[in-house]
Amino acid sequence: MNQSIVQLKNVHKTFGPFKALNDINLDIRQGEILTLLGPSGCGKTTLMRIIAGFEAPSSGTLMIGGKDAIALPPEKRSVNMVFQRYALFPHLDVFDNVAFGLRLQRLSKAQINEKVRAMLHLVQLDNFASRWIHELSGGQCQRVALARALVNRPDVLLLDEPLAALDLKIRHHMLKELKRIHEETGTTFVYVTHDQDEAMILSDRVVLMNRGEIEQLGSPQDLYAAPKSLFCARFFGDTNIVEGRVSNVMDGLGNISTAHFQARGAVASASAGDQVSLSIRPEAIRLTAAGQAPGVLEAHNAMAGTVHDVVFIGNRVVYQVKKGESLFTCQQTRPVTGIEHAPGSLVHMSWPEQAVVVLTQ
């Protein structure tokens, strides 16, 4: 999975005075699932449309399969696209929707039948060939759209928020199906979403975009555990952000003073006196009743507070703990037996040094 199938170098895209993409450099590896993640307006769909050939970059280069693709029209690229609204033909049945692209290639009837049947089997719609589109559920329509996009065996499949119209349970099921289909076909998937959970479940690598630029690129684990910016820490997963100032640094570990506690954690680029932001994930915080806390709180990474709110989510409980005017989120994984700390309870919070991510930007 090290060979690049798509390469973008110094790609810029402007719409009048608006800069949609700014100096994008990205290699998409053959056979991977790469997710373009970010808020609305960050440039992820524009980037996908440039790869598909529906938009031309204002400047920069695009290589697909080692060949310059800038001048190639969409139908000449070994790329296909699945749209958010499926874009299926309502006047055709499932078989003919999947066969549409093959007929444009003037393949024989036997070839078309073989390829369509194989693709319907892949998406587990063997018995739906004669169904009309209005007779299908949303998840089934999505499978037909996938089959139609994959039947021509593109090198790259682009998926533009394909699950956005589905309810949560079907969406999670379809994510598993997408992973299975990817494993069976080996096709490179480029997936666009604003949903961080989809990105974490599906991706080999994530491109987090912000204001037309790549904010951070890496595995879901990298972005979650080691965000390089405040934007990444906030967007990719839930976290507690606390402002502080570095008091001293020794052997890569820094002591940081905040309004409510003394923190200690790895400091890569900050020096004594620097203003920093701390990211502490909710699940890293250990929550105990105030009576179970040590007589004197630990010197670092601990504080007392009062439970402000509790949300029970079956396999986990999310607590909002108030300290002064600040709220801290703590997530505890527990058996579904009840809530340990009721609103108004005094509690003790603590977390390990490795849970503190020190951010300077």
- Nearest residue to 157 (alpha-carbon basis) of 128, 133, 184: 184
281: which residues sit within 8 A by CB, 6+ positions away?
224, 237, 238, 239, 240, 355
pLDDT for res 294: 53
CB-CB neighbours of 290 under 10 Å: 13
Assigned CATH topology for domain 4-233: Rossmann fold (3.40.50)
pLDDT for res 293: 53
What's the pTM value of the predicted model, to 2 decimals? 0.89
pLDDT for res 297: 53
pLDDT for res 105: 83
- Nearest residue to 236 (alpha-carbon basis) of 183, 200, 285, 288: 200
pLDDT for res 101: 85
List the pLDDT tens digit at each of the 361 positions of the chain.
579 999 999 999 999 999 999 999 999 999 999 999 999 999 999 999 999 999 999 999 999 999 999 999 998 899 998 887 778 899 999 999 999 988 888 888 999 999 999 999 999 999 999 999 999 988 888 889 899 999 989 999 999 988 887 788 888 888 998 999 999 999 999 999 999 999 999 999 999 999 999 999 999 999 999 999 999 999 998 999 999 999 988 888 889 999 999 999 888 888 888 999 999 999 999 988 887 655 445 668 999 999 999 998 878 899 999 998 899 999 988 655 567 889 999 999 999 999 999 998 6
pLDDT for res 313: 84
Domain with CATH 2.40.50.140 in the chain: 238-359
Find tokens 């684990």 and name the residue: 221
CA–CA dist 159, 166 (Å, integer) = 14
Q: Count of alpha carbons within 13 Å of 346, Cβ hemisphere only?
A: 6
CA–CA dist 113, 116 (Å, integer) = 5
Q: 250, exposed or middle or buried, with CB in 10 Å at 0-12, 13-18, 19+? A: exposed
CA–CA dist 300, 261 (Å, integer) = 7
pLDDT for res 336: 53
Class of the 238-359 domain? Answer: mainly beta
Concatenating the DSSP letter of every residue in 125-157 gives: -GGGTT-BGGGS-HHHHHHHHHHHHHTT--SEE
Pull the structure tokens for residue 292. 């179970």
Domain with CATH 3.40.50.300 in the chain: 4-233
pLDDT for res 296: 47
The 3-state DSSP class for residue 43 equals coil
Q: Which amino acid is at 68?
A: D
